[in-house]
A = this chain, B = another copy of it.
Amino acid sequence: MWLSGPVNKSGVEMSQATARRVRQAAIELFATRGFHGTGIRDLAEAAGLSSATLYHYMGTKEELLVSIMRASLDRLVTAACQVTADVPDPIGRVTNLVALHVYTHAEQQLETRVVDGEIRALSPEHRPRIIALRDEYEACWQSAIDDGCDRGLLRPSSRGVARLALLEMCSGIARWYSPTGPFTLDELAERYVEMALGLLGATGPVPAPDLAPVRELVAANWSD
């Protein structure tokens, strides 16, 4: 077997379409009602299956949550590396990270709400590995901020606090964004970049950023 689809706990191949329906139903319900507020039967109904069949496509309910989080964070960390890899200018790196964060948290707002808000539902067994992924992502931000400070381009009164404030600000998008709102997502991303650089005390005039490459990367990697 040279190409493997999704597998359950036994390593058996499964219908990808149904497996994806289960994942999507879980993301929607976990995001709107919370992990503990979502029952197995709610999940089954939303996926159009019986609760027994559900277990053909997943391990435990918590393993389903973990796999959703891991997939989401993996994609995010990879993308964060990509949008900062070949950008020597630290302000350009911050700009790309903000744009990436805004685009993903708006377009995948249900998924990101689960990742950001349900970590506390994880058991001590699974939590550290998810936290580690999140830390890896945040380290990418910190590195860009630190570099900008060292070169005198950014002047926050505290680098660490600035990172935390910045991330919370950008993650908020997932809690209120609506595609029918008064601003397009591109406009929102631009405004967030502007606010972020103001927050970081960027010195001097900042060139108008080109967010198109980031947007295209998001469109390519989150096209499910």
Residues of B within 8 A of A117 (CB): 117
A164 vs B102: C-alpha distance when bound (angstroms)? 13
Residues of B within 8 A of A199 (CB): 169, 195-196, 198-199
Enumerate A150-202 residues with CB–CB distance to B below 8 Å: 156-158, 160-162, 164-169, 171-172, 175-176, 182-183, 188, 190-192, 194-196, 198-201
Number of copies: 2
Residues of B within 8 A of A34 (CB): 34-36, 120-121
Residues of B within 8 A of A171 (CB): 168
A37 at the interface (CB under 8 A from B): yes
Q: Is the CB of B157 within 8 A of A194?
A: yes
Nearest neighbor of A169 in chain B, beta-carbon distance? B169
Residues of B within 8 A of A200 (CB): 198
Min CB–CB distance A158 → chain B (angstroms): 5
Min CB–CB distance A32 → chain B (angstroms): 7
Residues of B within 8 A of A121 (CB): 34, 37
A176 vs B162: C-alpha distance when bound (angstroms)? 13
Min CB–CB distance A35 → chain B (angstroms): 8
A200 vs B195: C-alpha distance when bound (angstroms)? 7
Given A37-B36, A200-B198, verify A172-B164 contact (CB < 8 Å).
yes
Contacts A33-B36, A161-B188 given; 16 further ones with Cβ under 8 A? Answer: A34-B35, A34-B120, A36-B36, A36-B37, A156-B195, A161-B195, A164-B172, A165-B169, A165-B192, A165-B195, A166-B169, A167-B172, A168-B171, A168-B175, A198-B199, A199-B199
A-B contact pairs, 28 of them (CB 8 A): A32-B120, A33-B36, A34-B35, A34-B36, A34-B121, A35-B37, A36-B36, A36-B37, A156-B191, A157-B190, A157-B194, A157-B195, A158-B183, A160-B182, A161-B183, A161-B188, A161-B195, A164-B176, A167-B172, A168-B168, A168-B172, A169-B172, A169-B199, A196-B199, A198-B198, A198-B199, A198-B201, A199-B199
